[in-house]
Amino acid sequence: MSSKKKLKPMPNASFKCMMWIYKLTDLIWSPRRRLKKIPVKVGMVVVDYGCGPGRYTLPLAELVGPEGKVFAVDIQPLAIKTVKEKAARKSLTNIEAILVDSYNTGIQGSSADLVILVDTLHAIKDYDALFAEIHQLLKRGGLLFMDPGHMKTSKAIEIIESTGLFTMAECQDKDMLLAPKAKR
Ligand SMILES: C[S@@+](CC[C@H](N)C(=O)[O-])C[C@H]1O[C@@H](n2cnc3c(N)ncnc32)[C@H](O)[C@@H]1O
């Protein structure tokens, strides 16, 4: 698929259904607990790529604090609306929700300390465009935290390796921490 073609979001009804499923699963497996695996520090700039209803965006914004910033990126307008509403309810002013229709987020290059891509890889149509954007967003020394979504970890690793843009720093169960290779 050409990365110039506008990306199509999932239907609103599917997104709402997904939110309910997350509400139930989060009672057992909290995103906050998972975030303990990620090296998030006060003042960091984080990009939550495929943020959905903001299950990670909100706790990340609390962890980076007012000196930091979290960009919440999604192609589904309901995701952006939900994140904005949750941020307002919690008076979190360090979240910028960005609705995209391509792999270009518009976020300044080499500005992110951390990008997270959770439960999203299976929904991606153009892996090269996605990982090129994530690679250009990351600062030198930045990290990508991701999981394979609904695909096998081995398949996800194959995809990442085929881009030639990242080196595996850690892989624990399905969670991967990757370092960007030096930019040319
Ligand atoms: C299964 S949800 C995961 C949401 C969130 N990361 C979480 O774990 O709670 C996948 C999300 O990725 C979004 N998405 C799919 N393709 C995308 C793309 N190319 N760019 C940005 N977001 C995308 C979907 O709209 C959806 O909100």
What confidence category does residue 3 fall into, taking pLDDT thresholds of 50, 70 and 90?
very low
Is the pLDDT reported for residue 2 higher than 50?
Answer: no
Q: Are 138 and 47 in contact (CB under 8 A)?
A: no
Q: Whose CA is nearest to atom 10 of ligand 1?
A: 120
Q: Which atom of ligand 1 is nearest to the CA of 130?
A: 19
pLDDT digits (tens, 9 = 90+) for 61-70: 999 999 999 9
Which residue segments constitute the domains of the chain, with CATH numbers given?
Answer: 12-180 (3.40.50.150)
CA–centroid distance, 71 to ligand 1, in Å, is: 13
Please report where in the chains the tokens 């307008």 appear, as a residue. Answer: 77
Find the residues whose C-beta lies inside 6 A of ligand 1: 7, 9-10, 18, 22, 49-52, 55-56, 73-76, 79, 100, 118-120, 123-124
pTM exceeds 0.85, yes or no: yes
